[in-house]
């Protein structure tokens, strides 16, 4: 469970182009043939988007924009802001206005809201499972839906997690293939240090304690401890001894995250919360 007041909203300027593109994809060249042929132009609709299952809300701005972009006359009230826990039957967003526009925007609004709430809910499940076992924060990766990264990373924050880098230009993350091409952990870090500015952090992925020792010797800012057992992770954290940020990754699940957190790592990163999180089921009901 997260405190919704602590989840800053995404800027409307950033979200609107994503929602607009989704509406254009759905409406196509001729608009909503079904609704426009059945629903009178003067018809009104009053209702709400309601939870069918428990979860954590994220993406309310995307739903709000889906309706408002089709018709500014639609009145939209967010009842449960991003980061709020919801239970079955609980209303998340209330709607009132022209029926045609509401029905035409319904699917885009629900697609985004259900998807992002799923990411927030998956994140919250790992946060809760890890909390009793240590200080580790749950962080996401770049394994996001193309075009939706900013939204999905916002949803991770709504679920109580934190963000890793947003793109390749945020920081240096030296992976195993970089190490192989560079000829080792040390050479890779030294080349990165020489090639980027003084404010850029450098993280390196290591698979063994020997590689970790090499990374620490040349001053890595952070180390990604990849697919290590909890026992090896504890040994790695002891070796690091506060000299770098420690991040564990690899096959993280609700069942394994507690043991990983108990090793004492600073961060636990997982792609599952963004690339494979199930949606939260929400639906539009008539009042």
In the chain, pLDDT over 70 holds for what percent of residues? 98
Please give the mean pLDDT across all residues of the chain. 96
Residue 7's pLDDT is 80
User: Crossing angle for the helix pair 12-27 and 60-70, nearest 10 degrees?
Assistant: 60
Q: Which residue has the tokens 């042929």?
A: 37
Q: Would residue 96 show up in a list of annotated catalytic residues for this protein? A: no
Q: Which of 71, 96, 226, 281 is catalytic?
A: 226
Q: Which of 175, 243, 251, 254 is catalytic?
A: 175
- Which pTM was predicted? 0.95
Q: In Å, how far from its chain's centre is CA 243?
A: 28
132 backbone φψ class: left, alpha, beta (φ>0; ψ -120 to 50): alpha
At 224-272, the pLDDT tens digits run 999 999 999 999 999 999 999 999 999 999 999 999 999 999 999 999 9
At 55-66, the pLDDT tens digits run 999 999 999 999
Q: Would residue 107 show up in a list of annotated catalytic residues for this protein? A: yes
Residue 1's pLDDT is 43
Distance, CA of 87 to CA of 33 (rounded, Å): 34
Segments in the chain below pLDDT 50 = 1-5
Q: Which of 82, 106, 152, 205 is catalytic?
A: 205
Q: Would residue 205 show up in a list of annotated catalytic residues for this protein? A: yes
Q: Which of 107, 131, 137, 191 is catalytic?
A: 107
Residue 237's pLDDT is 98
Query: What burial class does residue 143 get, using C-beta atoms within 10 Å of its C-beta: 0-12 exposed, 13-18 middle, 19+ buried?
Result: middle
* Alpha helices in 145-284, H assignment, sequence order: 149-158, 176-182, 185-195, 209-217, 230-240, 257-261, 272-275
Residue 257's pLDDT is 97
Query: Radius of gyration (Cα) for the chain, nearest Å?
Result: 22
Residue 8's pLDDT is 82
Q: Which of 52, 131, 143, 193 is catalytic?
A: 143
Q: Would residue 135 show up in a list of annotated catalytic residues for this protein? A: no
Q: Would residue 190 show up in a list of annotated catalytic residues for this protein? A: no
Distance, CA of 134 to CA of 257 (rounded, Å): 10
Beta strands 75-78; 91-98: pairing state: antiparallel
């Amino acid at each position: 469970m997260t405190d919704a007041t602590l989840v800053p909203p995404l800027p409307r300027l950033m979200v609107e182009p994503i929602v607009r593109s989704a509406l254009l994809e759905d409406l196509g060249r001729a608009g909503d043939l079904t609704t426009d042929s059945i629903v009178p132009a003067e018809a009104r609709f009053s209702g709400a988007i309601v939870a069918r299952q428990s979860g954590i809300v994220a993406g309310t701005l995307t739903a709000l924009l889906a309706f408002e972009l089709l018709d500014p006359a639609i009145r939209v009230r967010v009842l449960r802001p991003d980061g709020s826990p919801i239970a079955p039957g609980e209303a998340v967003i209330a709607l009132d206005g022209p029926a045609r526009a509401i029905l035409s925007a319904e699917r885009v609004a629900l697609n985004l809201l259900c998807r992002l709430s799923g990411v927030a809910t998956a994140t919250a499940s790992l946060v809760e499972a890890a909390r009793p076992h240590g200080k580790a924060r749950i962080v996401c990766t770049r394994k996001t839906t193309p075009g939706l990264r900013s939204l999905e990373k916002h949803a991770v924050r709504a679920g109580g997690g934190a963000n890793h880098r947003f793109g390749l230009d945020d920081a240096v993350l030296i992976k195993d293939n970089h190490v192989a091409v560079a000829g080792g952990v040390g050479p890779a870090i030294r080349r990165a240090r020489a090639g980027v500015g003084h404010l850029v952090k450098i993280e390196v992925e290591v698979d063994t304690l020997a590689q970790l020792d090499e990374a620490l010797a040349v001053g890595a800012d952070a180390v990604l401890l990849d697919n290590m057992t909890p026992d090896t992770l504890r040994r790695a954290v002891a070796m690091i001894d506060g000299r770098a940020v420690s991040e564990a990754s690899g096959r993280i699940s609700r069942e394994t995250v507690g043991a990983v957190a108990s090793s004492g790592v600073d961060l636990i990163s997982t792609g599952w919360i963004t690339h494979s999180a199930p949606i939260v089921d929400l639906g539009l009901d008539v009042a």
